[in-house]
């Protein structure tokens, strides 16, 4: 039985195994949202964060990669009453705006119509917003500059260094949540245990953050409602809009090679490179040289860990369990969905271990699927988006989405505009992609697609798969 206070937070009577206080390591996006979900179920939540409080101290810029929040992330915020406020600070992006080296811009819509869009949102703003609302529950205490140095999962204790005072203390906790990112200290302790393993794969590319400032009066100097991409084969530049009229740009390059961060070792080489490859962007980035040589070069890693839990004592969520590269815009969305699934599991079980094992079972396969799709999407964004054949197939895909609503489904639509499990979205993508490729064979115009053959292929291949997995496809957006 549960009952709620005036804010909708559960009080006392549904505390799984009567645990009153739990510990979360990491007050990033996932950790802050998780703390709210746990508070709503009546727990007192202690959150330990390694960084300073970004609401009071300036945190070094240069590694943001703006968020693209979509259906899964918005659903998670809706459960704690924060979706509407978040959307007031977001900018809808209805598609990709492709910038060739020369020639006209090309717009590629994300969905079947303008109602299907993703949203650009400041990572820093959202993190501050979530931390403030977590503390506002009255059940969450966030301590900053707390570095976890050692985790003893058997004893349920943490060795924590307070970086302000230099003092080290022991923190005891019956239940520990690791939401401390891809370099998770909690995961490092978990993976030393028998039966636990982590695989990490670093991308050979890094990234550098640059900025297109707003125009006069906060005007946007490029199309506001688009994710801008300058695809150049083995590398690319992207830009996402911000509330203030600026764009956060991210340059993705190999670390080494003929065109790489290593090769762009002087201001002259950097400017020449932009003049040749990104001439329209160069005109909009006045601080290119300063930002390139002063902002850090970020790394990207895929982390696959299993299992995510240690009995009922500890659970990894978000990047700590499944870091993914940012090219499907799903890292935060996936982490937020972890919180939703955990909350549902806590509602079904009376023992932490049972709930944690179900979370690990339900989420592991889906996290692996979106991790693989994110890597695949990197190749698509940097290379294929400028390929005429790819553009034709995307046009055919959009035609089928509109002509066969509810029957033809695309991978991107399911990932970004539904809560269908990622694994099913991955498999649908393979089937749908095959159908599109067959229908596009020999075509030069989307108007010439054979709709009768399309109907047959969809009925033979896609519809049976959806019926077979009807429970998963029943998930609403």
Per-residue confidence of the chain (477 residues) as pLDDT tens digits?
333 443 444 433 345 766 789 999 999 999 999 999 999 999 999 999 999 999 998 776 555 668 999 999 999 999 999 999 999 999 999 999 999 998 789 898 998 888 899 999 999 999 999 999 999 999 999 999 999 999 999 999 999 999 999 999 999 999 999 999 999 999 999 999 999 999 999 999 999 999 999 999 999 999 999 999 999 989 999 999 999 999 999 999 999 999 999 999 999 999 999 999 999 999 999 999 999 999 999 999 999 999 999 999 999 999 999 999 999 999 999 999 999 999 999 999 999 999 999 999 999 999 999 999 999 988 777 767 667 888 899 899 999 999 999 899 999 999 999 999 999 999 999 999 999 999 999 999 999 999 999 999 999 999 999 999 988 887 644
* Six-digit token string for 380: 């698509």
SS3 state of residue 389? helix
Q: CB–CB of 39/140 below 8 Å?
A: yes
Same domain, yes or no: 403 and 375 = no
| Helices (H) then strands (E): counts for the chain | 17, 21
Same domain, yes or no: 80 and 189 = yes
Same domain, yes or no: 273 and 211 = yes
- Decide if 466 is inside a domain: yes
Question: Residue 92 contacts by C-beta under 8 Å, 6 or more apart in sequence?
Answer: 117, 118, 119, 225
- Decide if 110 is inside a domain: no
- Decide if 326 is inside a domain: yes
By DSSP bridging, strand 314-316 and strand 176-178 are parallel
The DSSP string of 227-273 is EEEEE-SS-EEEEEE-TTS-EEEEEEEESSSSSSTTT--SHHHHHHH
Helix (H), strand (E), coil (C) string for 25-69: ECCCHHHHHHHHHHHHCCCEEEEECCCCCCCCCCCCCCCCCCEEE
State the residue for tokens 């998930």.
475
Number of domains in the chain: 3
Same domain, yes or no: 295 and 307 = no
Give the phi and the psi of residue 236 in degrees, each rounded to 5.
-165, 165
Task: Please state, in angstroms and rounded to a whole number, the distance separating the CA atoms of residues 457 and 449.
Answer: 13
Report whether the peptide linkage leading into residue 77 is cis, meaning its omega lies within 30 degrees of zero. no
* Domain end marker among 245, 275, 299: 299
For the chain, the farthest-separated pair of C-alpha atoms sits apart, in whole angstroms, at 72
> What residues pair up with 247 in beta bridges, in sequence order?
212, 241
Helix 29-40 / helix 331-348 crossing angle, nearest 10 deg: 20
Same domain, yes or no: 178 and 236 = no
- Decide if 112 is inside a domain: no
Q: CB–CB of 348/326 below 8 Å?
A: no
Measured over the CA atoms of residue 37, residue 42, residue 48 and residue 49, the dihedral's sign is positive
Residue 70: the pLDDT is 97
Give the phi and the psi of residue 462 in degrees, each rounded to 5.
-90, -45
Give the phi and the psi of residue 142 in degrees, each rounded to 5.
-105, 125
Same domain, yes or no: 68 and 146 = yes
* Six-digit token string for 410: 């695309």
Q: 24 vs 31, 34, 140, CA distance in Å?
A: 7, 8, 10
What pTM value is reported for the model?
Answer: 0.93
* Domain end marker among 262, 283, 299: 299
- Decide if 97 is inside a domain: no
Of 129, 140, 138, 118, the C-alpha closest to 73 is: 118
Q: What is the CA radius of gyration of the chain?
A: 23
- Decide if 96 is inside a domain: no
CATH of the domain at 189: 3.50.50.60
Task: Please state, in angstroms and rounded to a whole number, the distance separating the CA atoms of residues 301 and 202.
Answer: 4
Measured over the CA atoms of residue 34, residue 36, residue 41 and residue 46, the dihedral's sign is positive
* Domain end marker among 343, 359, 379: 379
> What residues pair up with 176 in beta bridges, in sequence order?
23, 314
What's the burial of 230, exposed, middle or buried (CB within 10 Å: 0-12/13-18/19+)? buried
Helix or strand holding residue 325 (H, E): none
Same domain, yes or no: 265 and 315 = no
Same domain, yes or no: 181 and 330 = yes
Same domain, yes or no: 416 and 355 = no
Same domain, yes or no: 337 and 415 = no
Residue 390: the pLDDT is 85
Helix or strand holding residue 374 (H, E): helix 352-382
Domain carrying residue 444: 387-473
- Decide if 42 is inside a domain: yes
Helix or strand holding residue 101 (H, E): none
SS3 state of residue 341? helix
Measured over the CA atoms of residue 11, residue 16, residue 21 and residue 24, the dihedral's sign is negative
Task: Please state, in angstroms and rounded to a whole number, the distance separating the CA atoms of residues 446 and 390.
Answer: 12
Residue 146: the pLDDT is 98
Same domain, yes or no: 41 and 57 = yes
* Strands ordered across the beta sheet of 140-143: 140-143, 44-48, 21-25, 176-178, 314-316, 309-310
Task: Please state, in angstroms and rounded to a whole number, the distance separating the CA atoms of residues 291 and 208.
Answer: 8
- Decide if 228 is inside a domain: yes
Residue 462: the pLDDT is 96
Same domain, yes or no: 13 and 126 = yes
Of 126, 135, 165, 149, the C-alpha closest to 35 is: 135
How many CB atoms neighbour CB 433 within 10 A?
Answer: 14
Task: Please state, in angstroms and rounded to a whole number, the distance separating the CA atoms of residues 186 and 156.
Answer: 12
Task: Please state, in angstroms and rounded to a whole number, the distance separating the CA atoms of residues 180 and 168.
Answer: 19
């Amino acid at each position: 039985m549960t009952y709620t206070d005036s804010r909708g937070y559960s009080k006392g009577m549904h505390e799984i195994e009567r645990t009153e206080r739990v510990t979360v390591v990491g007050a990033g996006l996932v950790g802050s949202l998780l703390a709210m979900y746990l508070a709503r179920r009546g727990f007192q939540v202690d959150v330990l964060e390694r960084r300073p409080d970004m609401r009071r101290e300036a945190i070094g810029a240069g590694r943001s990669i703006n968020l693209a929040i979509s259906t899964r992330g918005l659903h998670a915020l809706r459960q704690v009453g924060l979706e509407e406020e978040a959307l007031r600070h977001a900018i809808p992006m209805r598609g990709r705006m492709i910038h060739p080296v020369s020639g006209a811009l090309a717009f590629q819509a994300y969905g079947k119509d303008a109602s299907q869009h993703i949203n650009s949102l400041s990572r820093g703003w959202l993190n501050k917003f979530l931390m403030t609302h977590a503390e506002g529950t009255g059940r969450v205490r966030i301590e900053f500059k707390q570095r976890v140095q050692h985790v003893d999962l058997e004893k349920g204790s943490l060795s924590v260094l307070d970086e302000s005072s230099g003092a080290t203390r022991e923190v005891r906790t019956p239940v520990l949540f690791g939401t401390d990112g891809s370099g998770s200290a909690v995961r490092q302790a978990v993976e030393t245990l028998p039966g636990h393993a982590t695989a990490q794969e670093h991308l050979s590319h890094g990234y550098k953050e640059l900025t297109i400032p707003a125009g006069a009066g906060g005007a946007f100097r490029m199309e506001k409602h688009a994710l801008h991409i300058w695809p150049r084969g083995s590398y690319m530049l992207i830009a996402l809009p911000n509330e203030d009229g600026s764009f956060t740009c991210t340059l993705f390059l190999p670390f080494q090679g003929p065109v790489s961060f290593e090769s762009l070792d002087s201001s002259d080489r950097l400017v020449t490179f932009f003049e040749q490859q990104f001439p329209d962007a160069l005109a909009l980035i006045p601080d290119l040289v300063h930002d390139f040589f002063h902002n850090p070069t970020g790394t990207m890693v895929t982390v696959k860990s299993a299992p995510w839990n240690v009995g009922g004592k500890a659970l990894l969520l978000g990047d700590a369990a499944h870091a993914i590269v940012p090219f499907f815009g799903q890292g935060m969305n996936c982490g937020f969905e972890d919180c939703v699934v955990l909350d549902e599991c806590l509602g079904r079980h009376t023992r932490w271990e049972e709930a944690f094992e179900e979370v690990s079972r339900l989420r592991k396969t889906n996290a692996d699927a979106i991790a693989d799709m994110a890597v695949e999407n990197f190749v698509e964004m940097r290379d294929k988006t400028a390929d005429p054949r790819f553009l034709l197939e995307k046009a055919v895909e959009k035609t089928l989405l509109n002509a066969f609503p509810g029957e033809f489904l695309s991978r991107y639509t399911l990932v970004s505009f539904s809560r269908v499990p990622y694994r099913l979205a991955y498999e649908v993508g393979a089937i749908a992609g095959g159908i599109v490729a067959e229908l596009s064979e020999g075509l030069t115009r989307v108007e010439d697609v054979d709709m009768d053959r399309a109907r047959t292929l969809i009925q033979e291949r896609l519809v049976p798969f959806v019926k077979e997995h009807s429970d998963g496809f029943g998930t609403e957006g």
